[in-house]
Structures are given as C-alpha cells and as structure tokens.
Amino acid sequence: MDEGGGVLTRITTTATHMMRTTENPQIEELAHIYYLPPAMKMLCILFYSVLCVCCVYGNVLVILVVVYFKRLRTATNILILNLAVADLLISVFCIPFSYWQVLIFDDQRWLFGSMMCSLLAFLQAMAVFLSAWTLVVISFDRWMAIMFVLTPSIRITMRRALYLVAATWIFSILMALPLLFTTRSFEISEGVENCGENWTYFGDAGEQVRKVYSSMVVILQYIVPQAVLIITYTHIGIKMWNSRVPGMQNGATKKMIVDRHESVKKLVPMVILISALFALCWLPLLILINVIPEFYPNINSWGYILYLWWFAHGLAMLHSIVNPVIYFIRNARFREGFCFFSSKLLPCIAFSEFRLLTDNTSRRQAVI
C-alpha cells in the first residue's frame, strides 16, 4: 500500500506531501526527516504566523472594498474578488495547517482526523486551481478590452463575469475532487497518525492512475495557465505599443478612446508583474513536489530537503499577499478603500492620515 506517499504528485501544501514510501514510515524516521533546529523552527513559526495574518487581512480587505463600494463593482473587479477568495482559501486552509504539522511536531503527526485530512487536501488543491484559472480569466478580460475597444458588446459584462466565476469554481472542484477520496489519515506508530494519499482504491492500476492525475494537475494547474497568460499579455503588449487609436469624427468620443487607451497602456506592466510573480512563486514548489521525485525517488534522503521544501512552500504561500499589495500600490480606488476599512478595523490608525495618499488620485479611475 502507498499509504504514506503519493501526495508528492501535485501542488499541495503540507510537508506530509514530501513523502512517498511503500509502507508506513516509522515515527523515528519522520522525526529525523522533519527535524529543524530550534532557532530555524522559531523563525519559520514567526514568518508563517505573520504571513497568515497579513494574507487574511489583505484579501479580506480586497473583498470588502469590492463589495462595499458600488463604483468598484465592475466585471473586472468581480474577477479580482474571486482571486482574493482563492488567496484567502490558501491563507486559511494551507498556511496554518502546514506549519502546525511540521513546526509544532517534528514527527508529522496529524491531530485533526481523517475527514479533515481529506477535506483539507481537497480545499488546498481547489484553491490553487481557482487562483490560477481566475488569473487566466482576468487575462482574457484585459485582452478583450484591448482587442475590441470599439466593440463593447463582446466584452466581459457583469453577467458574463459571474458565469466565468462559476465556471472556474466548477472546474477547480472537479479537478480537486479525486483528493477528497484518495487522501486520509493513517497510523504511523501507536497512537500517532499521519495524513497522506492512498490510491489503492484503483487496485493494481493505482500507481498509474496517480501518475496520470499528477500529470494532469501539473499541466492544468500551472503549464496551461502560464502559457495562456504569456500569450494574452504578449499580444496585449504588442497591440498597445504598436497600435494607434482609430480616428474619430466626434472629438469627445475620440478623447474617451484615447483616455482609455492610455489608462490600459499603464496596466500592461502591472498585469505582467502579477503573472510573473504567480509563475515565480509557485514554480519551485511545483518542481520540488511534482517533478524531482519522479526522477529521484529517494528525495527524502537528501540532507537539505526540508530546507528546500520550506523555501519553496514559503515562496508559494507568499503569493497570497502579493496581489493585495499590488492593488494598494497601483490602484487609487483600492488604496482609498483599503485605508477606509483599515481605519475601521484598526481604530488606532486615523483615516485622515491616509487622505493625502488618495486625494490627488481618487478622482482618476485606475484600471486593473
């Protein structure tokens, strides 16, 4: 039985997933593999604690701003809200359980039961799919806004945005669903349980099914989304920098098109940054838990493997706070909303102190 392993086959987010063995690992083996010096452990606990709080706070602010301010309830911002929900799911279901399991207990014991084990694996995978494909939908939204600037009827409307959001959720749920049935807790020592995958439901074909699913996840969770982002934003960049605004007889209409052309042109560096950061943040973890083990099955014997895993995992989790920071820096309306809700949630910070940050730009619509 592959009870202790197989979880190394996709982008998931607990260190238990670094293990692939043919029999249940012993508690002494786990304690050796997952041992961190006390100083490093405290540093990781501090980093993940601060990161978790910041991720939850930042993405909750994004959700509140879009829901509360009517002027921000646009089709594009509905997609951004969906991205914030995905990042919030990662913040809540990936970060806390990951560092609790490894940093609090060196032996990787699982304290939350078999049902929670299955549910968390499902939610973690679903959240990453949701984040990746929401970025894809946003790229199409921006691409259509540039390519069909004079044809509003074929752009993504509010209703279409809601349909697309529903589609990303359905797709993400379906792709993560196998983990709900193949992940469970198992006993690794008397009174000590671990959480991992078990593909023996498929009999002798279990290992082959696992590899097929692993390949699908790598392709659909990372490679295809990145390919789409590169193609759409490259096309946007070429179009924006090389095209001219069509001539208009109506001066007011021409000015409107010129203004939109310029505002969207300013968008290009930001969307490229968002896409690049997603790729860079998730790539090390993808390689470490989805690619390397296929060629080096004895990866757990590497003396520095845990340090590599924590670096890759921390970088991936860090992505959950990247988008709120970018919105705050690049978008005046989001910045104003962030400051407004921060003054409500943190009364010790006066909203008036931030007015100078937004007054000069709040009347200018910033495009995301």
Distance between CA 194 and CA 330 in Å, rounded? 43
pLDDT band at 366 (very low <50, low <70, confident <90, very high): very low
State the DSSP H helix or E strand holding residue 364, giving kind and residue range, or none if neither: none
187, containing H or E segment: strand 183-189
Q: Is the dihedral of CA 318, 320, 323, 326 positive or negative?
A: negative
DSSP annotation of 291 reads: I
Q: By the 8 A CB rule, do 348 and 326 touch?
A: no
Terminal-residue alpha carbon distance, the chain? 49
Q: How does residue 59 score in pLDDT terms, banded at 50, 70 and 90?
A: very high
**Domains annotated on the chain, with CATH:** 7-330 (1.20.1070.10)
Structure tokens belonging to residue 182: 């193949």
Q: Where are the alpha helices (DSSP H) in the chain?
A: 27-33, 38-68, 75-93, 95-99, 113-147, 158-182, 206-218, 224-242, 251-286, 292-295, 305-330, 332-345, 352-358
Q: What is the pLDDT at residue 289? A: 76
**Averaged pLDDT, 56-74:** 91
**Closest among 168, 292, 319 to 300, alpha carbons compared:** 292
If we measure between CA atoms, which residue out of 79, 66, 58 comes closest to residue 134? Answer: 79
In sequence order, what are the residues at sequence separation of 6 or more whose Cβ sits closer than 8 angstroms to the Cβ of residue 51? 95, 314, 317, 318, 320, 321
What percent of the chain shows pLDDT beyond 70? 71
Average pLDDT over residues 102-131: 81
Global model pTM greater than 0.85: no
User: At residue 368, does pLDDT exceed 60?
Assistant: no
3-class DSSP assignment, residue 288:
helix
Confidence of residue 60 (pLDDT cuts 50, 70, 90): very high
Question: How much is the pLDDT for 293?
Answer: 74
Distance in angstroms (rounded) separating the CA atoms of residues 235 and 229 = 10
pLDDT digits (tens, 9 = 90+) for 2-29: 333 333 334 444 444 444 433 444 444 5
Structure tokens at 358: 């937004």
The SS3 call for residue 13 is coil
